[in-house]
Structure 1
Amino acid sequence: MTGPDTLLQATGIEKSYRRGIWPTRHRFPVLRGVDLRLAPGEVVGLVGENGAGKSTLMKILVGALAPDTGTVVHAGRLGYCPQEPVVYERLTCDEYFELFGRAYGLTDQAERHARRELYEALGFTRYADTRTDRLFGGTLAKLNLGLALLADPEVLLLDEPYAGFDFDTYLKFWTQVAERREQGRAVLIISHFVTDEERFDRIVELRDGRAVPR
């Protein structure tokens, strides 16, 4: 169970995928018993080689993918920013925020207030009425992040969230992370940037299917 010092606890997470063609088809283990704890006010970096299972673990933590074995418990809301935005191209940014606001159970007033703040904080107010099929990569990434931040979740799970950001937006992103650290939120970020290491409270590496401190 989670408590005052833990917002998310993953224990013994295992996941494998089937590879090959029958009759030589076999199971390929990706996660081999991952344990991970996120505490209030903590920003954790998740690193590892390509194919180490970082995105797989993130999907399991948020509930988008079931583990073969293991448990995940968390306190409060989860906010999730997937590596690749999954959007319906006919909706505008405003319509997306409205949709997610209702899914989170926000009042209309709270959703509109949070939406305005995120537009300003991430610098894409002028795209409010723009359909997502007309957004460039960096602006689509801002919407992807904004939807994860909308409900001010207690636990924020971000899979390479700043891919496509210019340097100014990259700095704005870290301002948002710093604010959530001060508010006692927990943030887990998949990152490949060595220069980001000093921004994390600690770094966890996925190695040989397990989470090890670095």
Structure 2
Amino acid sequence: MKVTGLHHAYGRRHVLRGIDLDLGPGRLVGIVGENGAGKSTLLRILSGELRPDRGTVRHQGRFGYCPQDVILNDALTVRQHLRFFQSAYGLADLRHAEEIMEELHLHEYADERAGNLSGGTRQKLNLTLALMHDPHLLLLDEPYQGFDWDTYQKFWNLAGRLRTAGRCVLVVSHLAHDIERLDELWRLDGGTLHPGTAVAA
């Protein structure tokens, strides 16, 4: 995904002031910023959910989007969510989704309604839905909120394997967690991106 000159404002409040970003294959990229800095606005634009005032977003291949606010139907079970997204993605089977569920220890909740799940388990389902079609680019907004330590470690292991497989993962958060795992770190401040430290070997 190549992002050029993104601008966006809410009324007179300019949130993004010329964002340039190049998300290439095999990269783990982080963007950090204060609450209200425009991180979620940027991800909504990258995912196509929101149109920028100016600028372009070009991408190739499949992408997955995991928003900060988990959007699930509380009346449906985990398995029913998977089948719904299987149809939406046009997938022949759920093998990839089941592998992710197994890794995140979500499989034991397959027949639970989403409304009965804890916040961390709902986030596991959110992540599974974003990954089940094997996207080339994964956009994650505060992806590990509600995770226990074990799941947090599993998340980073999964992200590392995606990078090794040539995928790109963009993690957006208000805190810079485990930055040594990242290839690139950016800070969103004043509507622009400021280079952090490239830390991964």
Report the TM range for the smaller structure's normalisation.
Answer: over 0.9
Query: What is the distance in 2 between the residues matched to 1:179 and 1:58?
Result: 22
> In the alignment, what sits opposite 1:16?
9
Q: Give yes or no for contact 2:33–2:175 (8 Å, CA) kept in 1.
A: no
Matched pairs, number:
196
Which amino acid is the alignment partner of residue 30 of structure 1? V
Query: What is the distance in 2 between the residues matched to 1:207 and 1:33?
Result: 12
2:159 is equivalent to residue 159 of structure 1: no
Change (3 A) 1:197 1:118: same
Query: What is the distance in 1 between the residues matched to 2:170 and 2:177?
Result: 17
Q: Tell me the alpha carbon deviations over residues 71-117 of structure 1, each in whole angstroms, 9 at most, x when there is no partner.
A: 1011101100000101111111111111112211211x2xx211210
Structure 1 residues not aligned, in runs of 5+:
1-7, 19-26
2:123 is equivalent to residue 141 of structure 1: yes
Counterpart selection for 2:42 from 35, 57, 60: 57
Q: Give yes or no for contact 2:35–2:174 (8 Å, CA) kept in 1.
A: no
TM-score (norm 1): 0.89
Q: Secondary structure at 1:89's aligned position in 2? A: coil
> In the alignment, what sits opposite 1:201?
183
Q: Give yes or no for contact 2:97–2:131 (8 Å, CA) kept in 1.
A: no
Report which of the two structures shows the higher radius of gyration computed on alpha carbons: 1
Instruction: Report the identity percentage.
Output: 51
Query: What is the distance in 1 between the residues matched to 2:176 and 2:45?
Result: 25
* Correspondence list, 1:24-173, <5 A: 27-107=12-92, 109=93, 112-173=94-155
> In the alignment, what sits opposite 1:192?
174
Query: What is the distance in 2 between the residues matched to 1:155 and 1:144?
Result: 16
Which amino acid is the alignment partner of residue 45 of structure 1? G
Q: Tell me the alpha carbon deviations over residues 151-203 of structure 1, each in whole angstroms, 9 at most, x when there is no partner.
A: 11000000010000000000110111011000100110012344411111010
Query: CA-atom RMSD, angstroms?
Result: 1.0
Query: What is the distance in 2 between the residues matched to 1:192 and 1:207?
Result: 11
Q: Secondary structure at 1:10's aligned position in 2? A: strand
> In the alignment, what sits opposite 1:21?
none
Q: Secondary structure at 1:84's aligned position in 2? A: coil
Which amino acid is the alignment partner of residue 91 of structure 1? L
Structure 2 residues not aligned, in runs of 5+:
197-201
Moved more, 98-107 or 171-180: 98-107
TM-score (norm 2): 0.95
Q: Give yes or no for contact 2:32–2:175 (8 Å, CA) kept in 1.
A: no
Compute the displacement of 1:48 (Å).
1.1
Which amino acid is the alignment partner of residue 117 of structure 2? L
Compute the displacement of 1:211 (Å).
1.3
Compute the displacement of 1:34 (Å).
0.5
Query: What is the distance in 2 between the residues matched to 1:195 and 1:213?
Result: 16
